Amino acid sequence: MKIFVTGGTGFVGSHFLNAAMVAGHEVVALRRPGSATRIPLDRQPTWIDGSLEGDHAAALQGAEVLVHLAAHTPNPPYDTLARCLHWNVVAPLALAEQAVAVGVRRFVVAGSCFEYGRAARRTGVVDPDTQPEPDLSYPTSKAAATLAFQGFAREQGVALKVLRLFQVFGEGEQPSRLWPSLRRAALEGRDFPMSAGDQVRDFTPVEFVASRFVQALDFSGVREGEPIVEHVATGLPRTLLEFSQAWWRHWNATGTLVPGAVAYRHNEIMSLVSRQLR
């Protein structure tokens, strides 16, 4: 099928493009001029240069599904709430309206486990029906996007899947994040200062995430106007320290992990685990 993708040069988006094209889909992907994918692609999609706010009606023509993976400042430090709301809610909805106008009836939108915020701090375990209580700008904008797209789907009578991602890691990830930083230190023979590592996460390989988004292109049994929220997680929660130790051994690191050398982040969520095992 023909699909239109936003965020195709991003971390998850790059892997999704490869997986979608391997599965035989025709892919049209929106990118900022001059941007490049995080990993090499086996072949290139049809690229459309521009922003979410452009006129993309012609490129959307004939698409069966719009896959929205683009995200504004998904890693700390987050941008202001106003700018996050604009780029993560207002601009994507404007694109979705263009899509509906040319006949697109199916939408897949990437969400974030960090939408749950304080709810996760209280319980440590969340499911798709848990009420989000975000308290930082980016997670707040993603929770608002989920709510807005749900309302959009009901109002327009279109099919929608929101897939909330849990702690994605792998090749092409932003260098400042845990897994790339850990690998760099291991391969360079350096020690790795880290927090105490008590945080519990569902560390989800990016290849698994990409495959779940490809599967989500099948809307069999999904009713228009009845949006679905699902989790993309392995169901295998581990502490950050356990995760780091496993990869440290995998890379045969000669340096030493130094738990407790770095303070926890402000508003750190100590446990964020999915009850829905997908």
Residue type, 86: H
178-200+236-274 CATH pick, 3.40.640.10, 3.30.360.10, 3.90.25.10, 3.40.50.300: 3.90.25.10
Q: 275: pLDDT confidence band, cut at 50, 70 and 90?
A: confident
pLDDT tens profile 221-251:
999 999 999 999 998 999 999 999 999 999 9
Instruction: Give span(s): CATH 3.40.50.720, the chain.
Output: 2-169+203-232
2-169+203-232 CATH pick, 3.40.50.360, 3.40.50.720, 2.130.10.10, 3.90.1310.10: 3.40.50.720
* Lookup result for tokens 């991602």: 165
Chain centroid to Cα 42, Å, comes to 21
Q: Is the pLDDT of residue 276 over 80?
A: no
Segment holding 74, helix H or strand E:
none
Instruction: Give span(s): CATH 3.90.25.10, the chain.
Output: 178-200+236-274
pLDDT tens profile 43-68:
999 999 999 999 999 999 999 999 99
**pLDDT, mean over the chain:** 96
Q: Is 217 helix (H, G, I), strand (E, B) or coil?
A: coil
Whole-prediction pTM: 0.96
Query: Distances from the Cα of 165 to the Cαs of 156, 233, 254, in angstroms?
Result: 25, 7, 32
